[in-house]
């Protein structure tokens, strides 16, 4: 019984350590709690947020210098969210256009 209680307590503690931090609601201290976000970056985020909440990750990355794909993925893995969503990444390859043209017969 004691082992179950200790296991449950450890599980609850580990879950509370990884609480999501939404960029649209977080204070400077909460943003600074994300590894890699310091006072400079949290200040930029808060300054841009005064102009309006961030719609999504691309909006955040566009409006805040220093927020690229790599850093967004890293911050998201540590619990940072935008409107409750984690960073999903951006496709590095453009979508290929599908051709509906039929091949032209060659001349014989």
Looking at residue 89, what is its pLDDT? Answer: 80
108: exposed, middle or buried (Cβ count in 10 Å: 0-12, 13-18, 19+): exposed
Return the CATH fold of 20-81. DNA polymerase; domain 1 (1.10.150)
For residues 16 and 62, the model is more confident at 62
- Residue whose C-alpha is closest to residue 60's, from 38, 43, 70, 45: 45
Q: How confident is the model at residue 34 (pLDDT cuts 50, 70, 90)?
A: very high
Q: What is the pLDDT of residues 5-22, one digit of tens each?
A: 545 444 444 444 557 999
DSSP state letter for 104: P
What pTM, to 2 d.p., does this model score? 0.66
Q: Please tell me the predicted confidence (pLDDT) of residue 33.
A: 94
The residue ranges of every structural domain in the chain are 20-81
């Amino acid at each position: 019984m004691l082992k179950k209680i200790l296991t449950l307590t450890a599980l609850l503690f580990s879950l509370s350590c990884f609480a999501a931090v939404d960029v649209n609601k977080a204070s400077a201290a909460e943003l600074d709690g994300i590894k890699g976000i310091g006072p400079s970056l949290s200040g930029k985020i808060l300054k841009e947020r005064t102009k309006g909440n961030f719609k999504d990750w691309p909006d955040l990355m566009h409006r805040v210098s220093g927020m690229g794909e790599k850093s967004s993925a890293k911050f998201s893995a540590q619990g940072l969210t935008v409107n409750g969503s984690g960073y999903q990444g951006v496709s590095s390859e453009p979508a290929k256009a599908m051709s509906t043209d039929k091949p032209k017969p060659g001349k014989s």
